[in-house]
Chain A
């Protein structure tokens, strides 16, 4: 407990943007076949440092086969609401779940160069206390730390629907399930919220048998992955409305609400439209009657490609689908970054008018049947995937692996892990030639968290002025 609020807690997104910039990034390292232990890489992102762009510390966990994916902080700017009573928590621990093992590590990063495991929650405890499995997205909120899961109970995670559970934000004890009334929600992926407006939005990927051993083409072509988003009364823990995008909008993944809590809209990325292989972004908003609405506001076309150059899975289509697998919104709610993991492109949309996004910039690196090299001449395997934006909006970091078994289907000849960075400055949106992290052999990379918070962690309780 601090005597003052943690200096990385900010009342508004504006104040967070004006705060000192990040010195370190924390990036997931995962062993795709479970032959090595997974870990968290601490990457030096201070351009003035001698070790800029290098992994300066690693926290390697003792177990194998966890498969790290997403992770988050124990505390964020949401602690500044008197309603929660957590103003004096430290932003100190990373909550890192294994989506294959359901084990959760609490990693103490108070001194990033000496980061270490603080506590381990074994899978049996997760199963016993929640009936859920395969923990995924982490957010800190009113009642503690909220963790979304991808699986229900049982060996293959299909015994009951997946959902969200709550952990104590000081002891990291699992408290129990979040949902009182889940309505039609039967799949899960991401979630986020607007704390003062008291709503939460959640999304759907698929059930564990639909992703653990790779994408199931028959399920995809018969539209059996998730295509709905759910709106919740956050504190009543009740699903109040479900919006079905349409069954062809397969895999509604990342939920990115506007950061300014006075706004009542956000975005959701859809991996693939099975009617035309497009990638899509939906804008969702609350209308004047309090009803939630959603509309497709961005489409990204597939690229025609000779079947000979395509992986087995795509040969029949003669095209490379964009595969919108991650999106991230800058803290000023101005730019939405869209990772097109199949095309090998990172798009930057100006979403100042959320109903009419405009493509403002684009970076090409990696990609199916393309493999565009980094500007420094080195390879970037797979495509741009997990993206994270600095609080000030000037640097955009990303890694390349989507999910071990899916990487192998879409990029059967690739192997490796890279993290790169693009600048967003007076010269537009462009890759930084000098920032390129190659991960240790045999390890891939996924989500990135920035020291002091980033654009997909913090929830704010006070509107911008």
Chain B
């Protein structure tokens, strides 16, 4: 077992890394920011579109993390909750491996509703769920640091952690997606859109399974 500061750093690293990973995935929306800037013929539209995508993504993250914040206050059930969450993430990964279809309802969202689209896309692909085992790991390590607290103060700490995790993750995502969008808009041109777009469906599903498995493994060793 890693020492706590090291594992805490590793977990925060995972939060940032997953943000970068979601950000570079065209399926999470950065090409829409390029398109918006080209439509309006000004770079500020690129930033506005990225902001809308980020807000949608951020809300999807917090919507998934907050219920776990409430649950994890039940300290005596902590490892069961972490194992359960890990298994859920693994199950979603397996489902996405088996069913490679993309949800059709996403195509019904209007192209102007980028925030809503980003929110739904993140939910449908389990982007929020991918963060849950990492988040629960951070809560567990922090809780070891601070010792047993009153449930109320523990909960407020965990809520803060949830928002920090969602913020750090979304910031990393916006940075990665923003750099790609700006690169394509200012220098590379749209020719690179089809050249740099890889099918991440399988890698994405495997990432969910991997994160879930690590979540289960670390929950059982505590």
Contact = CB atoms under 8 A, between A and B. Distances in A.
Given A4-B199, A87-B26, A198-B112, A462 B107 contact: no
A144 B104 contact: yes
B112 A143 contact: no
A411 B109 CA distance: 49
Contact of A83 (B100, B109, B201): B109
Interface of A: 1-5, 7, 9-12, 15, 80-88, 142-144, 170, 195-198, 235-236, 261-262, 461-463, 465
B120 to A, nearest CB: 11
B38 A262 contact: yes
A88 B27 CA distance: 11
B42 interface: no
A88 B189 CA distance: 20
B219 interface: no
Contacts of A81: 31-32, 35, 111
Interface in B80-116: 100-104, 106-112
25 contacts: A1-B199, A3-B199, A4-B198, A4-B199, A9-B194, A11-B191, A11-B194, A80-B197, A81-B35, A82-B29, A83-B32, A85-B103, A170-B101, A197-B111, A198-B110, A198-B112, A235-B107, A235-B109, A235-B110, A236-B110, A462-B31, A462-B35, A462-B190, A463-B38, A465-B38
Contact of B111 (A86, A196, A262): A196
Nearest to B27: A82
Given A11-B190, A87-B27, A462 B38 contact: yes
B58 interface: no
A85 B107 CA distance: 8
A1 B198 CA distance: 11
A454 to B, nearest CB: 18
Contacts of A83: 32, 106-107, 109, 111, 117
A143 B103 CA distance: 10
Contacts of A196: 35, 39, 111
Q: Is the interface of A mostly helix, strand, loop or mixed?
A: loop
A458 to B, nearest CB: 13
B111 A462 contact: no
Given A11-B193, A82-B27, A198-B112, A462 B104 contact: no
Contacts of B64: none
A85 B106 contact: yes
B168 interface: no
Given A11-B190, A88-B199, 13 more contacts: A3-B199, A4-B195, A80-B194, A81-B31, A82-B27, A82-B28, A82-B32, A83-B109, A196-B111, A261-B39, A462-B35, A462-B38, A465-B189
B194 A143 contact: no
A3 B202 CA distance: 10
B173 interface: no
* Interface residue range, chain B: 20 to 34
A463 B35 contact: yes
B31 to A, nearest CB: 5
Nearest to A262: B39
B191 A198 contact: no
Contacts of B191: 11, 15
For the complex of A and B, the 3 pairs showing the least CB-CB separation, nearest first, are A85-B102, A11-B190, A142-B107
A142 B110 CA distance: 10
A10 B117 contact: no
A4 B110 contact: no
Contacts of B106: 83-85
Given A82-B27, A262-B39, A462 B112 contact: no
A217 B112 CA distance: 47
Contacts of B108: 142-143, 235
B194 to A, nearest CB: 4
A462 B193 contact: yes
Given A83-B107, A198-B111, A262-B38, A4 B194 contact: yes
B34 interface: yes
A7 B193 CA distance: 11
Interface string B190-212: 11011101110100000000000
A331 to B, nearest CB: 15
A78 to B, nearest CB: 11
Contacts of A9: 194
Contacts of A195: 111
Contacts of B34: 462
Contacts of B35: 81, 196, 461-463
